[in-house]
Structure 1
Amino acid sequence: MIKLLDQGHRHFVLDLGFVTFMDSMGLGVIVAITKRIREHDGSLRIASVSGRILKIFDLSGMRESFEIYPSAAEATQSEPSPGSLKHWPHPSSD
């Protein structure tokens, strides 16, 4: 991720379709990635989240802080919003 940011990439889709287990450490990694992306005025969309993993986002109160899509294809159908992480970790009140 750091290498991609250094190369100028700013907008990312994190496909969690292969993830069968996540704990607070996994969520912490996503938070750290999100902070890095925000520092570069980028965006992060999360895709293909199973019900079990989505529950982790719910329990942590982080679900509303992220753009979550049913699939990576749907996450990439529209242009990323510049500054979409501006209000992260709290959802904007727009």
Structure 2
Amino acid sequence: MNHEMPLEKAIEIYKVLDIECVLIEGYKKIQYPRVLLCRNQNDSDFIIKSSEPVAIISEKQLKDGSSFPHFLRTEEDKWLKFLMDYIVSQLNEERAYHETV
């Protein structure tokens, strides 16, 4: 393609291809569940303004007062397990919903 595809259009194509999970980097203003990658305490404003946060991953422990799961970047085994569990649970919920509809 000679131009960037709008995100919503790309997501619709992935749905047709029956892809179960799409990881998107950037797009801070989109309304999808997100993992916040924070560099330092200065990113706390980003946490407050974020929609649908799932977890926070940062270099150092943050004092943001949020109730979301928080992982240090070095705790890769923990946050990877959390994210995989989250993705699987969301897929299971979606499948159960479609079976009842």
Alignment TM-score > 0.5, same fold: no
TM-score range, shorter-chain basis? 0.3 to 0.5
Between the two structures, name the one with larger relative contact order (CA 8 Å, sep ≥ 6): 1
